[in-house]
A and B are shown apart, each in its own frame.
Chain A
Amino acid sequence: MGVEGIGARVVRKEDRRFITGQGRYVDDVKMVGMSYAHFIRSPHAHAKVKGINSTEAMKMPGVIAVLTGQQIVDDKVGNLICGWAITSKDGSPMKMGAWPAMAPETVRFVGQAVAVVIAETKNQAKDAAEAVVVDYEELPAVADVRAAIKSGAPQLHPEAPGNIVYDWHIGDEAAVGDAFSKAANVVTLELTNNRLVPNAMEPRAAVAHYDQAEEHYTLYTTSQNPHVARLVLSAFYNIAPEHKLRVIAPDVGGGFGSKIYIYPEEMVALWASKKVNRPVKWTGDRSEAFLTDAHGRDHVSKAEMAFDKDNKILGLRVKTHANFGAYMSLFSSAVPTYLYATLLSGQYVIPAIYAEVIGVYTNTTPVDAYRGAGRPEASYLLERMMETAARQLKVDPTELRKKNFINQFPYQTPVIMAYDIGDFHASIDAAMKAIDYAGFAARKAKAKADGKLRGIGVSCYIEACGIAPSKAVGSLGAGVGLWESAEIRVNPVGTIEVLPGSHSHGQGHETTFCQIIAERLGVPISQVSIVHGDTDKVQFGMGTYGSRSIAVGGAAIVKAMEKVEAKAKKIAAHALEASESDIVIENGEFKVTGTDKAIALPMVALAAYTAHNLPDGMEPGLKETAFYDPTNFTFPAGAYICELEVDPGTGKTSFVNFVAADDFGRLINPMIVEGQVHGGLAQGIGQALLEGAVYDDTGQLVTASFMDYTMPRADDLPSFQLSHTTTLCPGNPLGVKGCGEAGAIGASAAVINAITDAIGNNKLEMPATPDRVWHAIHG
């Protein structure tokens, strides 16, 4: 309805403040009497903390306090938690070591905090931190997941013998054994999914304030889910009960998962604000972000796929070792299990699947969900496998995929997921047409004549988004429900405020959510505001991650709007002396259908609040709340095809074309969707070609700055050709599926498939740097 409703390419409302430098971020918050925190971090990957001497530091100018890990233990602040319980195949619960917010006895990764200096200025805190003497006794360290599980490897936590957190499995091992015994061909593949550093543009930050008179805390923090932060800080860390703790996530400059978690620094800032009875600010720098923001991915896998004589897939067997780093972060346990192995059926009919996942501790930064979270790892493995199989079976990779596509929906995979709807042929056909797949052979021949190696690579991804049905995830070990809430306030003069439980940190909620209202009421989006990110304003919400804000949060908005509209129609019908069933909503008016009788929304709203003439028994006001708990995940899917050239002299990859055909269901704002896909593709291509966190054998992060960690730049990326094929999601009232992670999930396999096609060597790990590609060509 209207030019600003669903499907309109509306310019983002929030961009005015962002592009004019008027965003309001945590570091912009200033408080009277504010002090500054600077953390003292371990330079060692594994060491005993034998003593901390702050005598000299305390004498330095401006120093208010030096607080240590032992003090936070003494004050009974809780250890950090992992919120998803995974059970090993032998029935035992996962084995976790304790993670105190600052290490009192042992440090287990470079950058782990052991103490904090609170001072009048940031520089004074830094100066004093250099005067704090920490006595470390170095211990042997292990950073590589394969090394960590060997006998004799350094042990991180006594609770987890052999450094193994869990040894989990899913699927039917016997059925897979049968499938392989009948196979005409078996394809095997070993691969690494490289560790990534999230690198949100805004580093993490916290401003904590303790009000002694009210015994009340306020925390400004860079969070994707302020209510979850408050819940965890209250229920598990004993900082304060919920009604005595307000958490505010103002504008947040990117998250990609890394701002889901409640980190030590935010906890310490809150705790310290009471200790020193001053507001405490901590703003992380880029170096701290590299060392302490939860990293992503880091899998080593072996996969085998069985085919019959007609190239139909019979079975898939996967064994994955997942590197968790030194501690179990908030949702880390779920990422290589229920967010990974449950997607191993991909877009294909695979009658039997069996996957084992071994979660492993190492002396590295903790690993958790990062854009896609488990699904990029699954998609990469499966789509590298399909390409490898096509080459081994000597069939066209698109034909092999099409032959094995799921065509009937709903489809129950052997690994929990029940796909509701999709059209995988439509996506791959659209992508093949867009890139002129049929003409590739001729283009490759021409490139060869020019001395270039040209390749083409396909990736057909599916993801489970709209996280998630609460009962289902609860049965799988999740500690929380993953519903979403929304409150709609129609103000007395007819303007509207939407209070969603999700939180925008780049997604454009302030525009798309308004478009949902505009669609339903026919009002301009300028009459609608989004209020989010403050636990004092929004009653509760589960936050933004897993491409859930529109699929789950949007549905909650629709449910709340249905209640608002039902009441408003009663008021309008009463005012117009018409039957409620005859009232329709058009262009901001409530009309009696088939007549010229109408009452505008502001008059309905005013009537609701003056309450002079409401239907008998009706409560005044026009404000409704809804909670929406999805019945299933949503399943965005699509096909990406990448065409590129490799320079044999240098191993450098140059893109020729990159096409994406995505099925996200209904698009609320196609422009914002395209932006999300562009960003996701950049991260997927970044993983494939550029990004990789590298640790040396002593556990030092070699890629600890942008001098060595290759962030994608604009000139590293091609111009993307995007298109959409649409099957509407039947599981939610908007028909939406979510689009935030697709690019990051599907892109990397397309790129590596294309490079390996170009160079004629399938042995190539990510990131496919020029050095690695050159060696793959020349040996």
Chain B
Amino acid sequence: MYETNYHRASSIDDAVAQFAKGTDSKFLSGGQTLLPVMKQRLAAPSDVIDVAKIKDMIGIDVSGDTVTIKAATPHYDVAQSDAVKKAIPALASLASEIGDPAVRYRGTIGGSLANNDPAADYPAAVLALGATIKTNKRSIAAEDFFKGLFSTALEDGEIITAVSFPVPAKAGYAKFPNPASRFALTGVFVAKTKAGDVRVAATGASQSGVMRVGPIEQALKANWAASALDSVTIAASGLLADIHGSADYRANLVKVMGQRAVTAAG
């Protein structure tokens, strides 16, 4: 690791101020990506602003039809939250399957979304549930937030402070883990909104990062059942291909994980 200046921010405003002082600052939350990359000397931020201890950024609130998870809340807390389990059980279940226990104790929802790893789990839930990403400056709709691999709508120095999820009528998540990294080789989140709309998002599959899956949405709108996807074909074009899964294999996983997500959603 190259030498860097570490700051533990006391508030969101303090974090923003500290960020502005550095020549090449980075926000640090759970550190599940940034720290390994720094250890390998692949990143060399001048300043690291730790936001994980800011009190205003930790916690879960469920009110009415909205679940709000503050950005520095670790995955473990989401997985264990009775309120989340009751309101959006698929979200608690997703959080319980991220990485391993050590990752879940440190990794945070805000960090995951800001990093937008194409194989991360949370982006699928955010996109399928039509969540809103709240920052220190504005609110960003899920559709507008994800901008491709490791790229988001966040501006330099902008901090995610919370994510608000509308409570769906039904939702489910099914992931097929990469055998080596245990990230999602493909994960599919299906949601039926209380208004009756169906939104489906897949992570790990596309060369453009998390994506909506139109053919599955159409089929589930007509018939909310796993068997409704039997005749669906997912195109392999535009999907990722690597030593762990070819594009046609991932296309198959989008469909099969979609079916299992529907089954999980009930």
Chain A residues in the interface with B (C-beta under 8 A): 123, 126, 287, 649-652, 690, 694, 702-703, 706-711, 716, 769-771, 774-775, 778
Q: Tell me if A126 and B181 are in contact (CB < 8 A).
A: no
B41 touches A769 (CB 8 A): no
24 contacts between A and B (CB under 8 A): A123-B1, A126-B41, A649-B256, A650-B176, A650-B252, A650-B253, A651-B249, A694-B243, A702-B243, A703-B180, A706-B181, A707-B180, A707-B181, A708-B180, A709-B180, A710-B180, A716-B179, A770-B249, A771-B245, A771-B246, A774-B249, A774-B252, A775-B249, A778-B252
Q: Shortest CB–CB separation between residue A702 and chain B, in angstroms? A: 6
A706 to B249, CA, bound (A): 22
B41-A770 in contact (CB<8A): no
A775: B residues at CB distance < 8 A: 246, 249
B138: CB under 8 A from chain A?
no
Sample of 13 more A-B contacts, CB < 8 Å, known A649-B252, A711-B180, A716-B179: A649-B259, A650-B256, A652-B176, A703-B243, A706-B181, A708-B181, A708-B243, A708-B244, A710-B180, A770-B176, A770-B249, A771-B244, A771-B246
**A651: B residues at CB distance < 8 A:** 249
Interface residues in B209-266 by Cβ distance below 8 A to A read 243-246, 249, 252-253, 256, 259
A690 B179 Cβ-Cβ under 8 A: yes
- CB-CB < 8 A to B1: which residues of A? 123
| A770 and B256 alpha carbons, distance in the complex (Å) | 13
| 0/1 interface trace, chain B 1-16, chain A, CB 8 Å (1 if under) | 1000000000000000
Give the complex CA separation of A716 and B180 in angstroms.
Answer: 11
Number of A-B contacts (CB under 8 A): 46
User: Which of chain A's residues have a CB closer than 8 A to the CB of B244?
Assistant: 708, 769, 771
CA distance A287 to B36 in the complex (A): 13
Shortest distance between the CB of B39 and any CB in chain A (Å): 9
Contact in complex: B180, A706 (CB < 8 Å): yes
Give Cα A489–Cα B256 distance, bound, in whole angstroms: 66
Please, which residues of chain A bring their CB within 8 A of the CB of B249? Answer: 651, 770-771, 774-775
Contacts of A769 in B (CB 8 A): 179, 244
Bound together, the chains give a CA A28 to CA B209 distance in angstroms of 44
Q: Which residue of B lies closest to A703 (CB)?
A: B243
A710 proximity list for chain B (CB < 8 A): 179-180
A702 to B, closest residue via Cβ? B243
A-B complex: 10 closest residue pairs judged by Cβ atoms: A710-B180, A649-B256, A707-B181, A710-B179, A771-B249, A771-B245, A708-B180, A694-B243, A774-B249, A650-B176
Q: How far is the CA of A703 from the CA of B41 in the complex (A)?
A: 19
Q: How far is the CA of A769 from the CA of B250 in the complex (A)?
A: 13
* Least distance between A291 CB and chain B CB atoms (Å): 14
Chain B facing A: main interface SS: loop
Q: For residue B179, which residues in chain A have a CB less than 8 angstroms away from its CB?
A: 690, 710, 716, 769-770
- Cβ distance A555 to chain B, nearest Cβ, rounded Å: 42
Q: Which residues of A contact B245 (CB under 8 A)?
A: 770-771
Residues of chain B whose beta carbon lies under 8 Å from any beta carbon of chain A = 1, 40-41, 176, 179-181, 243-246, 249, 252-253, 256, 259
* Distance between Cα atoms of A132 and B80 in the complex (Å): 51
Q: For residue A126, which residues in chain B have a CB less than 8 angstroms away from its CB?
A: 41
Q: How far is the CB of B257 from chain A (nearest CB, A)?
A: 8
Measured CA separation A126–B1 after assembly (Å): 9
Q: In the complex, what's the smallest C-beta–C-beta distance from B205 to chain A, in angstroms? A: 13
A649 CA / B252 CA spacing, docked (Å): 8
Q: How far is the CB of A502 from chain B (nearest CB, A)?
A: 34
Once the chains are docked, how many angstroms separate the CA of A262 from the CA of B252? 47
Which residues in B have their C-beta under 8 angstroms from that of A703? Answer: 180, 243
Nearest chain A residue, comparing its CB with the CB of B252: A774
Closest to A713 in B: B182
Q: How far is the CA of A706 from the CA of B40 in the complex (A)?
A: 14
* Interchain CA distance A375-B22 in the complex, whole Å: 58
Expressed in whole angstroms, the minimum distance between the Cβ of B260 and any Cβ of chain A is: 8
Report the bound CA distance from A707 to B179 in whole Å.
9
**With the chains together, A703 CA to B1 CA distance in Å?**
22
Alpha-carbon separation in the docked complex, A778 to B179 (Å)? 20
Point out which of B243, B244, B253 has the most chain A C-beta atoms below 10 A from its C-beta: B243
For the complex formed, measure the closest distance between the CB of B262 and the CB atoms of chain A, giving whole angstroms. Answer: 13
Distance between A612 CB and nearest chain B CB, rounded to angstroms: 64
A649 to B41, CA, bound (A): 40
* A699 vs B40: C-alpha distance when bound (angstroms): 21
Closest to B186 in A: A650
Closest to B257 in A: A650
Nearest-Cβ distance from residue B46 to partner chain A, whole angstroms: 16
Min CB distance B132 to A, Å, is 32
Residues in B with CB closer than 8 Å to A702 are 243
Bound together, the chains give a CA A650 to CA B253 distance in angstroms of 7
CB distance from B172 to the nearest CB of A (A): 16
The CA of A707 and the CA of B183, in the complex, are separated in Å by: 9
A570 CA / B3 CA spacing, docked (Å):
70
- Bound CA–CA A312/B180 (angstroms): 43
> How far does the alpha carbon of A703 sit from the alpha carbon of B179 in the complex, in Å?
13
Q: How far is it, in angstroms, between the C-alpha of A354 and the C-alpha of B248 when the chains are bound?
A: 42
User: Cα distance A703–B244 when bound, in Å?
Assistant: 11
- Expressed in whole angstroms, the Cα–Cα distance for A290 and B159 within the complex equals 37
Inter-chain contacts of B40 with A (CB < 8 A):
287
In the complex, A710→B40 CA distance in Å?
20
Min distance, Cβ B67 to any Cβ of chain A, angstroms: 30
Residues of A within 8 A of B259 (CB): 649
Q: How far is the CB of A679 from chain B (nearest CB, A)?
A: 20
CA distance A770 to B180 in the complex (A): 12
CA distance A652 to B246 in the complex (A): 15
Most buried by B among A287, A708, A709, A775: A708
Min Cβ gap B264→A in Å is: 14
A708, B182: Cα distance in complex, Å: 10
Q: Which residues of B contact A649 (CB under 8 A)?
A: 252, 256, 259
- Residue in chain B with minimal CB distance to A706: B180
Bound-state CA distance A123–B1 (Å) is 8
Chain A residues whose C-beta falls within 8 Å of the C-beta of B246 in the assembled complex = 771, 775
Give Cα A22–Cα B245 distance, bound, in whole angstroms: 42
Q: Which residues of B contact A771 (CB under 8 A)?
A: 244-246, 249
Instruction: For B181, give the chain A residue with the smallest CB separation.
Output: A707
Closest to A711 in B: B180
Residues of chain B contacted by A706 (CB below 8 angstroms): 180-181
A157 CB to nearest B CB, Å: 29
Question: In the bound complex, how far is the Cα of B179 from the Cα of A706, in angstroms?
Answer: 10
B91 CB to closest chain A CB (Å) equals 23
Chain A nearest Cβ from B1, distance in angstroms: 8
B234 CB to nearest chain A CB (Å): 13
Q: Give the docked Cα–Cα distance between A771 and B246 (Å).
A: 7
Report the nearest B residue to A287, measured CB to CB: B40
Chain B residue numbers with a CB within 8 Å of A778 are 252
- The complex places the Cα of A126 from the Cα of B259 at a distance, in Å, of 50
Contacts of A690 in B (CB 8 A): 179-180
Task: Report A-chain residues with C-beta under 8 Å of the C-beta of B256.
Answer: 649-650
- In the assembly, what is the distance between CA of A27 and CA of B115, in Å? 35
Instruction: Tell me which residues across on chain B come within 8 A of A287, comparing CB atoms.
Output: 40
Shortest distance between the CB of B3 and any CB in chain A (Å): 8
Considering residues B180, B252, B256, which has the most beta carbons from chain A within 10 angstroms of its beta carbon? B180
A707→B256 CA distance, assembly (Å):
24
Q: How far is the CA of A716 from the CA of B181 in the complex (A)?
A: 13
**Cα distance A374–B148 when bound, in Å?**
46
Whole-angstrom distance between the Cβ of A232 and the nearest chain B Cβ = 33
What's the minimum C-beta distance from A767 to chain B, rounded to whole angstroms? 8
Residue of A nearest to B253 (CB): A650
Q: Which residue of B lies closest to A690 (CB)?
A: B179
State A650–B257 Cα separation when bound (angstroms). Answer: 9
**A769 CA to B178 CA in the complex, in Å?**
10
> A717 to nearest B CB, angstroms?
13
Q: How far is the CA of A461 from the CA of B79 in the complex (A)?
A: 46
Q: How far is the CB of B40 from chain A (nearest CB, A)?
A: 8
Report the minimum CB–CB distance from A272 to chain B (whole Å).
23
CA distance A690 to B244 in the complex (A): 10
> Which of chain A's residues has its CB closest to B1's CB?
A123
* Docked pose: A708 CA to B181 CA in angstroms: 6
The answer for the CA separation of A690 and B256 in the assembled complex, in Å, is: 22
A123–B40 Cα distance when bound, in Å, is 12
